[in-house]
Amino acid sequence: ADVFTFDPGFTSTAACESAITYIDGDKGELLHRGYSIEELAEHSHYLEVCYLLLYGELPTAAQLADFETRVTRHTMVHEQMHYFFRGFRRDAHPMATMVGVVGAMAAFYHDSTDINDPWQREVAAIRMIAKLPTIAAMAYKYSVGQPFVYPKNSLDYAGNFLHMCFAIPAEEYVVNPILAKAMDRIMMLHADHEQNASTSTVRLAGSSGANPFACIAAGIACLWGPAHGGANQACLEMLKEIGTVDRIPEYVAKAKDKDSGFRLMGFGHRVYKNFDPRATVMKQSADEVLALLGVENNPLLQVAKELERIALSDEYFISKKLYPNVDFYSGIILEAMGFPTSMFTPIFAISRTVGWISQWKEMIADKGQKIGRPRQLYIGEPHRAYVDVRNR
Ligand code: CMC
């Protein structure tokens, strides 16, 4: 019989070679194409990081301008998409809507199915990066019963997303530059994270040669779960449920009790066993944004800070190396911006699209890559004879 390595959850299996993102979990290090996330967060911006992830190098000024023009040119979705949205219930979770709408893009961009054509791959990547914010904003507008707002291409990527979410056609809307910068930073910090569950899903779906829009829809579905991208929504809902600082010990005790089935959302990571470098930047960003908005006394932030302090000095969390992850802080910023919690994971999906599509492109270009096909250890019945229904 064949002999397999048994590795449920792929804790020690490398499924591909990749030159995009490097993580050293013990050191708390995250590099994109060799550049540290801290340096990128300080000096770069989202679309430049997109270019870096997609093409491997930081762009020259001319390359960046050209890339921004190409992305901007694709921000609108096909007008017929509006009908597609109308088929959903208004109270649908925007992630459910996004899985459907992004999957449906495969029907609008059928040419992208020709994945052997490098030009088709390129245009699919640009379309995806350009249209995801539009689709997420439309899902939001639909859920609150407001008219869709078309993209405004004079704004930058993050500012345009805020505009499409918060502008109301009847009123003048001016994007707050502090919020646009904070949104850009959230997007940058989520842009890629090597072979996480949703990226592996995109690669697995793509390994069969499927249409790239369908592959990204698979990634969005995987991201939705609370152990992955859904943690940002779950974390903020947990902070709201805790409500006041005096109730924190109760929740910490519950998280330590295995039988409770409860985990502190926003804590722990499969790879980072020291700290999550994205969380450090995000925490700083949360402090800055709330101070600039004059809401630093936000009770949620007080609960978050105290929860962090208590958990980090608790033996259970120390011994298991459970630290706040990126999603512990991102939700506080998004809440301050006025987003409902249901929009947190769609914002993660927008941000991660460049990671998914960069990894998909890398995989398709890798001629040594085979279809992803794990094996199993069979633990069911051995061969047995069929018994007629009258004799069972
Ligand atoms: N609260 C309490 N206990 C925890 C937590 C937590 N948040 N996370 C892990 N543990 C315990 C777990 O019970 C286990 O204990 P034991 O060894 O006694 O059985 C130990 O720590 C290791 O946990 P694991 O589930 O085996 O670790 P994993 O690598 O499979 O899971 C994780 C990683 C992120 C899914 C997990 O830590 C978790 O569920 N965290 C909460 C959800 C969350 O914040 N997810 C966002 C991750 S960062 C954003 C992203 O990249 O998607």
- List the domain range (segments joined by +) for residue 352: 21-226+342-365
Domain count, the chain: 2
Based on the domain organization, do 152 and 80 belong to the same domain?
Answer: yes
Based on the domain organization, do 187 and 278 belong to the same domain?
Answer: no
Could you write out the DSSP letters of every residue in 11-71?
SS------SSEEEETTTTEEEETTEEHHHHHHH--HHHHHHHHHHSSPPPHHHHHHHHHHH
| Average pLDDT per 10 consecutive residues for the chain, totaling 392 residues | 86 95 96 98 98 98 98 96 93 96 92 89 96 98 96 97 96 93 97 98 96 97 95 94 94 94 93 92 90 83 90 92 91 92 97 98 91 94 98 96
Active-site annotation holder among 184, 269, 287, 314: 269
Distance 358 CA to ligand 1 centre (A): 27
Based on the domain organization, do 61 and 165 belong to the same domain?
Answer: yes
Based on the domain organization, do 295 and 346 belong to the same domain?
Answer: no
Based on the domain organization, do 83 and 132 belong to the same domain?
Answer: yes
Based on the domain organization, do 53 and 165 belong to the same domain?
Answer: yes
pLDDT computed for residue 24 by the predictor = 96
pLDDT computed for residue 2 by the predictor = 77
pLDDT computed for residue 78 by the predictor = 94
Give this prediction's pTM.
Answer: 0.95
Token pair of 11 as six digits? 């804790």
pLDDT computed for residue 300 by the predictor = 86
Complex ipTM = 0.96
pLDDT computed for residue 118 by the predictor = 92
Q: Decide if 117 is catalytic.
A: no
Binding-site residues, ligand 1, Cβ < 6 A: 9, 193, 196, 227-229, 231, 255, 263-270, 320, 322, 325-327
Q: Is residue 2 part of a domain?
A: no
Alpha helices in the chain (DSSP H): 37-43, 46-55, 61-72, 81-86, 94-108, 118-144, 157-166, 177-189, 197-206, 212-223, 231-242, 248-256, 277-292, 299-312, 315-319, 326-337, 344-365
Q: What residues have CB less than 8 Å from 31, skipping those under 6 apart?
A: 21, 22, 23, 37
pLDDT computed for residue 1 by the predictor = 65
Q: Decide if 327 is catalytic.
A: yes
Based on the domain organization, do 283 and 235 belong to the same domain?
Answer: yes
DSSP single-letter state for residue 111:
G
Distance 226 CA to ligand 1 centre (A): 11
Ligand 1, atom 4, lies closest to the CA of 263
CA 321 remoteness from chain centre:
23
Based on the domain organization, do 121 and 156 belong to the same domain?
Answer: yes
